[in-house]
Structure 1
Amino acid sequence: MNNPPHKRKKATISASTNPKSPNSDISPTQNPASAIIDVPAVEVPELTEDEQRDRLHLERKVERAFFEVGKALAELRDRRLYRSTHRTF
């Protein structure tokens, strides 16, 4: 009867022995899925009227660009203009 190969256990360094670990603030006895991690709050100032206007203008440009890309792709597909470089769209 063949026995399945044994899996080697990998050595791990716990957060308590490695202070540079990204999870060093999690106690090894706690369940990491329910850990509490402190994150400093950053104050984000409201946009000025000029910034709001600029943001809306730029978002509209992006929307138009996506629309234009979609139209160009549809035309490439419909007219089969891809066939000189690709077999299928």
Structure 2
Amino acid sequence: MPTDPQMPELDALFAAARELSADDWGAPERFLRGHRARAAQARRRQAGWLSALLASAAVVAGLSVLRPASPDLPSSAAYEAYQGALGDGW
């Protein structure tokens, strides 16, 4: 097998990659801290949309309760409207 002049450098590089450093030991904690922060931000954003939706529903319900009631027509008025439109004996 021919010898490559870069082979000792690659061996040293691979050996260093296999050794754990202080940054490697702290990586899971940094990942979990960032993940928890992103999850909390997503929950706050979702709660904001939910509260806006509930507020909109409350406004619509309040407006429907406060609007003036339409006068009810007697049933004879409906009968007269049908008779006028379709003729007698419909």
- TM class by shorter-chain length? 0.3 to 0.5
- TM-score of the pair, normalised by structure 1: 0.37
Q: TM-score, with normalisation over the residues of structure 2?
A: 0.37
* Larger Cα-atom Rg: 2
